[in-house]
Amino acid sequence: MKNIDIIFSASDISGRMKGLAKEIALAGLDNLLVVSILKGSFVFAADLIRALHEEGQQPEVEFLFLSSYKGGTKSTGFVEILRDIDTDVSGRNVLVVDDILESGRTLDFAKNLFEGRNARSVNICVLLDKPVERVKEVKVSFTGFDCPDLFVIGYGMDYAHKYRELPYIGALNP
Confidence of residue 78 (pLDDT cuts 50, 70, 90): confident
Q: Is 161 left (phi over 0), alpha (psi -120 to 50) or beta?
A: left
What is the domain extent for residue 149? Answer: 4-66+81-172
The residue count of the chain comes to 174
Give pLDDT, residue 76. Answer: 65
Q: Read off the amino acid at residue 122.
A: V
Considering the chain, what is the average pLDDT of its residues? Answer: 93
Does 122 map to a domain?
A: yes
Give pLDDT, residue 30. Answer: 95
Does 73 map to a domain?
A: no
Q: What is the pLDDT of residues 29-74, one digit of tens each?
A: 999 999 999 999 999 999 999 999 999 999 999 999 998 765 544 5
Q: How many domains does the chain have?
A: 1
Does 72 map to a domain?
A: no
Work out the average pLDDT over 139-149.
97
Does 111 map to a domain?
A: yes
Give pLDDT, residue 174. Answer: 75
- Among 98, 155, 156, 145, residue whose Cα is nearest residue 122: 98
Q: Is 52 exposed, middle or buried (0-12, 13-18, 19+ CB in 10 A)?
A: buried
Does 76 map to a domain?
A: no
